[in-house]
Amino acid sequence: MTIQTEVIEYSQDGAVFEGRLAADDSISEPQPGVVICHAWGGLSDYELTAAHKLAELGYAAFCLDVYGKGIRGSGPEENAKLMQPLLEDRALLQSRLLR
């Protein structure tokens, strides 16, 4: 078993996002998928570790990015500033989660 991770860059409405995919490359048939959404600080090692563990169990796990490529909060105040626009525009948040 070899767990491979891949950076997946994607765009939506002119913004670039950067997710991560983890999957066992020794499995040749389709794998069930799991989407992992980060907490308000942005994509971190916590989500990446969870994706790796899920891949070890036979899932293809994708960590999505709702803030944008390289955008991460550094503490509660900055995290709140990043999340607030998405809380005020639930349709935007939903579209980023479903993309």
- One DSSP character per residue, the chain reads --EEEEEEEEEETTEEEEEEEEEETT--S---EEEE---TT-S-HHHHHHHHHHHHTT-EEEE--SS-TT----SHHHHHHHHHHHHH-HHHHHHHHH-
Residue 36 contacts residue 64 (beta carbons within 8 Å):
yes
Domains of the chain (ranges; CATH) run 3-98 (3.40.50.1820)
Mean pLDDT by 10-residue block, N- to C-terminus, for the chain (99 residues)? Answer: 94 94 95 96 96 98 96 96 96 91
pTM of the model: 0.90
